[in-house]
Amino acid sequence: MENNFEQLIAALQICSSYSDSLCEIRHVLEKQNSELLSSFISQFYQSILILEHWAWELFSKTSHQWMEEPKYLELLHTLALFNKNLIFNYDDIDANTKGSLLIPETVDCINVIFERFEKTTDENDPFISIVSLWFDNLSYFLHDNNEFAMSSILIYITHYIVRKYVMTDQYKFYLNQLHQSPLSPSIFTAKHLFYIKTCSLFLSSYLFAKAQDFIYTSQELLHHFGSDYVQILLLHTCTIESWSAQLLTCIVQLANLFGSCCWWGGEKGPQTKIVFPTDLSTCEYIDALIRIIDY
């Protein structure tokens, strides 16, 4: 079937609703996700590039009728896993090749995606879950390839995310939801996870990669979310055995963002005082981390 991959992608370009092509492309990618052959990337680079651009264009369409088609969703989930494997399991594929496949060509599709996100009133809109996978993969790629912090596309996405999502009352609202114990599983909506997991991950990857000027200082970022993060950690490390996968991923990404802010901001003393005003508060935080390690 791999021998027909180029023809399948060509057919997809002509008619993206051709369901047989969607299924066959998915089968090829599923096989590749199992075998992880670098030769596949080299042999079919141009076709993979077309497929990656097709996905970004699909996300930026004004109509999202494709969201109701299981074949589209199955292919996109398989492609997202393929991209994640590309980042972590192909050491012999150079970073520039990976970046050309993963990073969109322009910010136009990004703007349309964010506009769609901001207009939806459905907390569990499946569109949010799908595009979050793409932003998560960009975060993983940036974390592993710091030189791409200079990419104008990734800079644009980061600035948009921090201004429109992280440094907002809505981000604080979702943080406040985590100040409960026990937590209702219903709070972990697609939108909640986009704000707390995906946006935190993207920003932390960028800060970790780029220790230069930014539109916010580390102090401003820590003032915004630092105390919430520490209180959430102190609260929930008393019941680690009951953590859900969603709570775990939220705490991990908040911890990564917290660490990136502390590492990125230069002088550590003034920053840590924002969230640890006393020695006792520092000790309580360390004890909470020890509870996680012990568990």
Domain boundaries, the chain: 103-294
User: Which has more pLDDT, 67 or 212?
Assistant: 67
Q: Give percent of the chain with pLDDT exceeding 90.
A: 80
137 near 102, Cβ under 8 Å? yes
Encode pLDDT of 189-208 as tens digits. 999 999 999 999 999 999 99
Position 251 scores a pLDDT of: 97
Encode pLDDT of 11-23 as tens digits. 887 765 566 789 9
Q: Give percent of the chain with pLDDT exceeding 70.
A: 95
DSSP state of 15: -
Average pLDDT value for residue range 177-183: 95
Position 101 scores a pLDDT of: 99
User: What are the C-alpha distances in Å from 121 to residues 67, 117, 124, 125, 144?
Assistant: 16, 9, 9, 8, 34
Position 276 scores a pLDDT of: 87
- pLDDT, the chain, mean: 93
Average pLDDT value for residue range 51-72: 92
Encode pLDDT of 45-58 as tens digits. 999 999 999 999 99
Position 268 scores a pLDDT of: 60
CA–chain centroid gap for 77, Å, is: 14
Residue 213 has pLDDT above 90, yes or no: no
Residue 223 has pLDDT above 70, yes or no: yes
Encode pLDDT of 75-122 as tens digits. 999 999 999 999 999 999 999 999 999 999 999 999 999 999 999 999
Q: What predicted TM-score, i.e. pTM, was given to this entire model?
A: 0.94
Average pLDDT value for residue range 179-190: 96
What is the rounded CA–CA span in Å between residue 166 and residue 148?
21
User: What are the C-alpha distances in Å from 68 to residues 3, 14, 118, 125, 128?
Assistant: 30, 21, 20, 12, 14
Residue 270 has pLDDT above 80, yes or no: no
56 near 109, Cβ under 8 Å? yes
Q: Got the DSSP string for 194-248?
A: IIIIIIHHHHHHHHHH--S--SS-HHHHHHHHHHHHHHHHHHHGGGGGG--HHHH
Q: Got the DSSP string for 158-173?
A: HHHHIIIIITSHHHHH
Q: How confident is the model at residue 161 (pLDDT cuts 50, 70, 90)?
A: very high
The most confident of the ranges 55-59, 213-217, 274-278 is: 55-59
Average pLDDT value for residue range 165-187: 97
Give the residue among 207, 230, 227 at the shortest CA–CA distance from 217: 207
